[in-house]
Amino acid sequence: MIRRCPATPEDYRALARRRLPRFLFDYVDGGAGREQTLLSNVRDWSGICLRQRVMIDVDGIDTETRLAGQDCRQPLVLAPIGMAGMTARRGEVQAVRAADAAGVPFTLSTVGLCGIDEVAAAAAAPVWFQLYMIRDRGIVEALLDKAWQSGCQTLVFTVDLPMPGSRHRDARNGIGLPGLRPKVLKIGQVLSRPGWLWNVAVRGKPLSFGSMSAHVPAASDPDAFKRWVDEQFDPTMTWADIAWLRQRWQGRLLLKGILDRDDALKAVDAGADGIVVSNHGGRQLDGVSSTASVLPAIAAAVGERTEILVDGGLRSGIDVFRALCLGASGVMIGRPWVWALAGAGQAGIERTLAIFRDELRIAMALTGVTRIADIGPDCLVNDPRAASERN
Ligand code: FNR
């Protein structure tokens, strides 16, 4: 039987589910706790109603913009995803090639499987690099230097991980747990996906954490490495560390994981060039607000002074349009690109990005705008500025 063609991120999700061992699919797909924040991230975008306008000349719609000083063919960036390379052979390299082909930036996670050297060598445009604050500041400094030397100009510094969230799906799959049972469970799941076993586990080697391997003895053993990383997240981090980082990093600095307007103000005061409004895709604290619901208040507080990106639950170009209406300059997408990578490799991500761009163009045409800069609260039925003033 010839399978139908994927047309949405959810279609790629279904493909990814068929291709990945269960523990990997759940790692990508899941969130913290009961996954209520994860669900509300997605749901709250779809509740934002667009204002249809007609009889306006919308010939020559242009989705191009600039994000962090970089030209983008649409206002979208691939979010940093740790261990994305476990879902497809040399996955981060496939992803950066897809991002280049589509003219959008790719963000490499600190804990990507492909290291910054490998990804930068495959890239046509500067790669964005994401960093966590690691207890050992020597490692942080070495990674900053390495990223800069490899041509990276934009650092995405993640601030919402003083400790890892509690993810029930990972626990059920025995991730990070000692003993025989988790091992046997994992082997069973891997054997039920021979395509993944051959393509990724065998032909995709080395399965180590590229950028970290010089610093961590256990980088070639994912379980041991996870334990090391979990201990290395620095719960003592404060704004003073951002001040240190600011003077240490000469490129653009985006702080990712801001969900509160007071923190947004502090981020700007600390010298960030931009923020990513994010709750880590609902993977950290279940019960915090969706990003769509906090974006208007944050945009009202700092939108004039800094660049705002947002992520979490964006599943279509129409959601991208909604985010721009609420005051973002651009968005990041996480799971949609990893589902596409797992389901159909580089071509899957390219197709996903084309779908997002087509949907964005349609949203622009039917709301009567032709340029990204013209998208704003006027394109919505209910002006969010009124709601954020009430808060
Ligand atoms: C993430 N995210 C993430 N963020 C980060 O700063 N560094 C990282 O290494 C990771 N790793 C990671 C792994 C997986 C499997 C997921 C799903 C997410 C968060 C990510 O960058 C982004 O904030 C969310 O994925 C956005 O939500 P959506 O688009 O996945 O709904």
CATH of the domain at 289: 3.20.20.70
84-137 tens-digit pLDDT = 999 999 999 999 999 999 999 999 999 999 999 999 999 999 999 999 998 889
Catalytic site residue from 280, 315, 335, 361: 280
pLDDT band at 328 (very low <50, low <70, confident <90, very high): very high
* Residue written as token pair 């985010």: 323
311: β partners: 332
What SS3 string covers the chain? Answer: CCCCCCCCHHHHHHHHHHHCCHHHHHHHHCCCCCCHHHHHHHHHHHCCCECCCCCCCCCCCECCEEECCEEECCCEEECCCCCHHHCCCCHHHHHHHHHHHHCCCEEECCCCCCCHHHHHHHCCCCCEEEECCECCHHHHHHHHHHHHHCCCCEEEEECCCCCCCCCHHHHHCCCCCCCHHHHHHHHHHHHCCHHHHHHHHHCCCCCCCHHHCCCCCCCCCHHHHHHHHHHHECCCCCHHHHHHHHHHCCCEEEEEEECCHHHHHHHHHCCCCEEEECCHHHCCCCCCCCHHHHHHHHHHHHCCCCEEEEECCCCCHHHHHHHHHCCCCEEEECHHHHHHHHHHHHHHHHHHHHHHHHHHHHHHHHHCCCEHHHCCHHHECCCHHHHHHHC
Closest-lying ligand 1 atom to the alpha carbon of residue 333 = 29
Ligand 1: does its nearest atom lie under 6 Å from the Cβ of 175?
A: no
Task: Using alpha carbons, list the distances in angstroms from residue 378 to 50, 66, 278, 370, 382.
Answer: 9, 22, 24, 14, 8
Ligand 1: does its nearest atom lie under 6 Å from the Cβ of 111?
A: yes
pLDDT band at 386 (very low <50, low <70, confident <90, very high): low
pLDDT at residue number 34: 98
Rounded to whole angstroms, the Cα distance separating 309 from 218 reads: 34
Average pLDDT, the chain: 94
Ligand 1: does its nearest atom lie under 6 Å from the Cβ of 158?
A: yes
Strands 65-67 and 70-72: antiparallel
47-84 tens-digit pLDDT = 999 999 999 999 999 999 999 999 999 999 999 999 99
Range of the domain at 130: 9-386
Ligand 1: does its nearest atom lie under 6 Å from the Cβ of 82?
A: yes
Q: How far is the CA of 56 from the centre of ligand 1 (A)?
A: 38
Could you tell me which residues come within 8 angstroms of residue 266 by beta carbon, excluding any fewer than 6 positions away? 239
Our answer to whether residue 280 is catalytic in this structure is: yes
Ligand 1: does its nearest atom lie under 6 Å from the Cβ of 151?
A: no
Q: How far is the CA of 372 from the centre of ligand 1 (A)?
A: 25
pLDDT at residue number 237: 92
Q: How far is the CA of 279 from the centre of ligand 1 (A)?
A: 9
Q: How far is the CA of 238 from the centre of ligand 1 (A)?
A: 22
245-302 tens-digit pLDDT = 999 999 999 999 999 999 999 999 999 999 999 999 999 999 999 999 999 999 999 9
Q: How far is the CA of 288 from the centre of ligand 1 (A)?
A: 16
pLDDT at residue number 208: 85
Bigger pLDDT: 226 vs 206: 206
In a domain, 171, yes or no: yes
Which residue, by CA, sits nearest to atom 18 of ligand 1?
81
What is the CB-side half-sphere exposure of residue 262 using CA atoms within 13 A? 1
Rounded to whole angstroms, the Cα distance separating 24 from 37 reads: 21
* Whether the predicted pLDDT of 391 surpasses 60: no
What is the arithmetic mean of pLDDT over 359-385? 95
Which residue, by CA, sits nearest to atom 3 of ligand 1?
81
* Whether the predicted pLDDT of 390 surpasses 60: no
Which residue, by CA, sits nearest to atom 15 of ligand 1?
28
pLDDT band at 224 (very low <50, low <70, confident <90, very high): confident
In a domain, 297, yes or no: yes
Nearest to 205 by CA among 345, 117, 115, 90: 90
In a domain, 50, yes or no: yes
Which residue, by CA, sits nearest to atom 5 of ligand 1?
80
Closest-lying ligand 1 atom to the alpha carbon of residue 279 = 23
| Structure tokens given for 226 | 């996870």
Bigger pLDDT: 230 vs 154: 154
What is the arithmetic mean of pLDDT over 21-46? 98
* Whether the predicted pLDDT of 220 surpasses 80: no
pLDDT at residue number 173: 95
Rounded to whole angstroms, the Cα distance separating 143 from 123 reads: 18
In a domain, 13, yes or no: yes
| Count: domains in the chain | 1
In a domain, 391, yes or no: no
Ligand 1: does its nearest atom lie under 6 Å from the Cβ of 335?
A: yes
Q: How far is the CA of 152 from the centre of ligand 1 (A)?
A: 20
130: β partners: 156
Task: Using alpha carbons, list the distances in angstroms from residue 79 to 5, 141, 328, 331.
Answer: 25, 22, 15, 9
Is 212 within 8 Å of 64 (Cβ atoms)? no
Q: Is the peptide bond before 105 cis (omega within 30 degrees of 0)?
A: no
Ligand 1: does its nearest atom lie under 6 Å from the Cβ of 81?
A: yes
Ligand 1: does its nearest atom lie under 6 Å from the Cβ of 40?
A: no
Q: How far is the CA of 195 from the centre of ligand 1 (A)?
A: 25
* Whether the predicted pLDDT of 209 surpasses 90: no
Cα of 187 vs its chain's centroid, Å? 29
Instruction: Count the neighbouring beta carbons within 10 Å of the beta carbon of residue 79.
Output: 29
Could you tell me which residues come within 8 angstroms of residue 124 by beta carbon, excluding any fewer than 6 positions away? 100
In a domain, 2, yes or no: no
Ligand 1: does its nearest atom lie under 6 Å from the Cβ of 290?
A: no
Could you tell me the pTM of the whole model?
Answer: 0.96
Rounded to whole angstroms, the Cα distance separating 302 from 293 reads: 16
The lowest-confidence range among 17-26, 57-66, 120-129, 176-185 is 176-185
Ligand 1: does its nearest atom lie under 6 Å from the Cβ of 28?
A: yes
pLDDT at residue number 222: 65
In a domain, 224, yes or no: yes
Task: Using alpha carbons, list the distances in angstroms from residue 10 to 6, 24, 194.
Answer: 8, 17, 23
Q: How far is the CA of 335 from the centre of ligand 1 (A)?
A: 7
In a domain, 3, yes or no: no
Bigger pLDDT: 44 vs 163: 44
Ligand 1: does its nearest atom lie under 6 Å from the Cβ of 310?
A: no
Which residue, by CA, sits nearest to atom 1 of ligand 1?
81
Q: At what angle do helices 9-19 and 22-29 cross, to 10 degrees?
A: 150
pLDDT at residue number 273: 98
